[in-house]
Amino acid sequence: MSGLLRYALQRLLLTIPMIFVLLTVIFLVIRVIPGDPISMVYGGRPVSEELKAAKRAELGFDKPILVQYGIYISGVFRGDFGVSLRTSTPVLQELFSRFPATIELALFGLIVAAILGFSTGVLAATRADHPTDHAVRIFHIASFAVPVFWLGLMFQVFFSVKLGWLPVTGRLGGQMAFSFEPITGFYVIDAILHWDGKALIDVLRHLALPALTLGIATTGLLGRMSRASMLEVLDQDYVTTARAKGLPERTVVLRHALRNALIPIVTVFGLELAVLMGGAVLTEHVFSWPGIASYLIRSINARDYTAIQGSVVFIALFISAINLFVDLLYSIIDPRVRY
Amino acid sequence: MSDTPERDEIRRSFLTSGVLGLIRAIGRGRIALHRQTVLKVGLVIVIAFLLMTAVANIWPSLNGYSPTLYRDAPRLEGPSPSHWMGTDQLQRDVFSRILGGGYASLIVAFAGLALSMISGSVLGWISGYSGGWLDRILSLVMDAVYAFPSLILAILMVAMFGAGIGPMIWAVGVVYIPTYFRVARAESMQVRETTYIEAIKAVGASRTRIVLRHVAPNTVNAIMAVSSFNLADAILTVAALSFLGFGLPPPAPDWGFDIQNGQKYLQSGSWWLITFPGLMIITLSLGFGLIGEGISDLVNPKRRRKHV
């Protein structure tokens, strides 16, 4: 365990330069490339030079670039993400209030993707080169090719407008939106904590389409990994041994092969998360989901420069943390990995 | 699947000169596409889309209706024999907009790809071949960018650059650099250890010469296989950017933008405004994806069973 602890510390130390790089990239994208953030603040409207200069001084843009960088980095590490130009509230506060919505959506999306991906991947691997396999492969490739936002809109057209089964947008419907009191911000958990069955059903009904959209659109990666990993494992000698001693195929696949096949899949979870976050931007936008991704889009449209920078930094930190977690998880799941 | 001599020849020529080899093999009539259904279907789709887009941009009113002229058709009507894909709120024929709507996607995807492929590969070759601190720093930067959601980075860049084709090319070009960097670096690290590189070094060839003449050509296959999948992804990125309003300014036909437009009329049940542009995006992206599958199968026959 001390080896694991040492690895955890090493990995944590490696994450720090990575975060620095991401922060620097974001800083450079916003400052160095053409497009003056100041005229962005005014949305391209003609503004007097004095006003621009005043705003520039207020935001610290008149300082040398290295000083700006220092202020920016130290701000991030002190948890100071600046104040939104649009709403005048601290950006971090806005992000924290929206974060649970994004996490809830991403988690349920991940569950959909995992269930669909694992089951189809394993199914295809056990029937390699048969029509089922081909059908699954086409499904996986198609899942890569479907625009998330389009899938969401089609679901809305079909399930909400045509059939009227599920709500079109939002996290809560009608009166519930006013009477519901969030505790944790994760509405599914909140509804359970309130012991309110009606609210829970309403929350889940609102969650169904966004989660399904995000899940299906990101199934491909997990599905392909599951299939490849399962095929690899089914080729192993111990699987042959299990078959040779007369175990039914079902037992061989489910008890002997599956567990080992799952190990490498954990490694793509970090990558899957990046895909999910990208997909979440569009899913939240389409379903008016009040998460950080829709906040980012709204900030971009409003030219709210501090909010843009803050949300991107927030997402970067979150992804770094998850990647660190996945790496550590991997060493715990696979006993062969020793540090 | 048994290995026929043609197949072997194709693979050899392909391995020596990447896509050029493939094209030459097809040109020589060596049935390069024999049994490569996946690759064939992908190629047919992509070529058809390229032709359709080119023709529709030369003669916009191909089907008798203008894609940009208002009041050329009834308002918000579903598909009918005269308007196959219905009409939009500005009384334009949806089908005529579909025909030319891939223009931005294709231009941006190809130009962006060229940008990221060249810069990513060159950095990858240098990094992988030279190793040391340069390699460590470059890898750190590239890994950090790679871990970040590419769509968000692209949106951020377009938001700073402004909307339109040029900014989208830059955004797509920068976002995919790490993809090529990783492939080129991994391949060139492998090539670096081979005996023939040692031999060339012994003869006294310069580093530039080794990298450009000997390392680079050996990594082309892997880069080509990745590029096709990459195009499939780039098509979706461009569509998303257009959907969010960072693409071509209206009234130019554009699938992503047309979907955004259709979203407003979704509640009234005008499904055709969204459905058809989306199907076009899927088909085109699928086409590139299938080509990627096909090329990977050709280059690495062992992969055919595993499809990693």
Q: How far is the C-alpha of A138 from the C-alpha of A223, rounded, in Å? A: 11
Assign B70 to helix, strand or coil.
Answer: coil
User: In percent, how much of chain A has pLDDT > 90?
Assistant: 5
Question: If you write DSSP's letter for every residue of B20-68 in order, what string do you get?
Answer: HHHHHHHHTT--TTTT-HHHHHHHHHHHHHHHHHHHHHHSTTTTSS-SS
What is the pLDDT of chain A when averaged over all its residues? 81
**What is the pLDDT at residue B307?**
43
Is the distance from CB of B278 to CB of B243 less than 8 angstroms?
A: no
Cα–Cα distances in Å, from B59 out to B48, B94, B209? 16, 16, 48
Given a cut of 60, whether residue B14 has pLDDT beyond it is: no
Q: How far is the C-alpha of A316 from the C-alpha of A327, rounded, in Å? A: 17
Is the distance from CB of B57 to CB of B103 less than 8 angstroms?
A: yes
Given a cut of 80, whether residue B187 has pLDDT beyond it is: yes
Contacts of B281 in chain A (CB under 8 A): 145, 147, 150
> Which residues, other chains included, contact A305 with Cβ-Cβ below 8 Å and sequence gap of 6+?
A30, A37, A40, A41, A59, A85
pLDDT tens, residue by residue, A191-221: 788 787 777 788 888 888 999 999 998 888 8
Of B145, B245, B305, nearest to A25 by CB-CB distance is B145
**What is the pLDDT at residue A1?**
52
Confidence band, pLDDT 50/70/90 cuts, at residue B178: very high
Which of A24, A157, A229, A324 would you mutate first to test chain B, the one with the most B CBs within 10 A? A157
**What is the pLDDT at residue A150?**
92
DSSP state of B249: P
Highest mean pLDDT among A46-55, A182-191, A225-234: A225-234
Best CA proximity match to A306, nearest among A69, A85, A37 = A85
Contacts of B150 in chain A (CB under 8 A): 274, 278
**What is the pLDDT at residue B169?**
92
Confidence band, pLDDT 50/70/90 cuts, at residue B180: very high
**What is the pLDDT at residue B6?**
57
**What is the pLDDT at residue B123?**
93
pLDDT tens, residue by residue, B72-117: 667 777 777 777 777 777 777 777 788 888 888 899 999 999 999 9
**What is the pLDDT at residue A40?**
61
> Is the pTM above the cut of 0.90?
no
Residue predicted with more confidence, B237 or A179: B237
CA distance B22 to chain A (A): 23
Contacts of B282 in chain A (CB under 8 A): 142, 145-147, 150
pLDDT tens, residue by residue, A164-178: 788 877 777 777 666
**What is the pLDDT at residue A306?**
79
The stretch A87-111 carries a mean pLDDT of 87
Assign B204 to helix, strand or coil.
Answer: coil
Confidence band, pLDDT 50/70/90 cuts, at residue B177: very high
Is the distance from CB of A106 to CB of A276 less than 8 angstroms?
A: yes
The stretch A53-62 carries a mean pLDDT of 75
Q: How far is the C-alpha of A324 from the C-alpha of B41, rounded, in Å? A: 41
Residue predicted with more confidence, B265 or A197: B265
> Which residues, other chains included, contact B88 with Cβ-Cβ below 8 Å and sequence gap of 6+?
B75, B76, B94, B97, B258, B261, B262, B265, B273
Of A33, A146, A285, nearest to B160 by CB-CB distance is A33
pLDDT tens, residue by residue, B195-227: 888 888 888 888 888 888 888 888 887 888 788
Residue predicted with more confidence, B276 or A268: B276
Contacts of B139 in chain A (CB under 8 A): none
Is the distance from CB of A322 to CB of A270 less than 8 angstroms?
A: yes
Confidence band, pLDDT 50/70/90 cuts, at residue A293: confident
Q: How far is the C-alpha of B196 from the C-alpha of B178, rounded, in Å? A: 28
Given a cut of 50, whether residue B148 has pLDDT beyond it is: yes
The tokens of B273 are what?
């405004």
Given a cut of 50, whether residue B29 has pLDDT beyond it is: no
Give strand pairing partners of A83. A90
Burial class (CB in 10 A: 0-12, 13-18, 19+), A208: middle
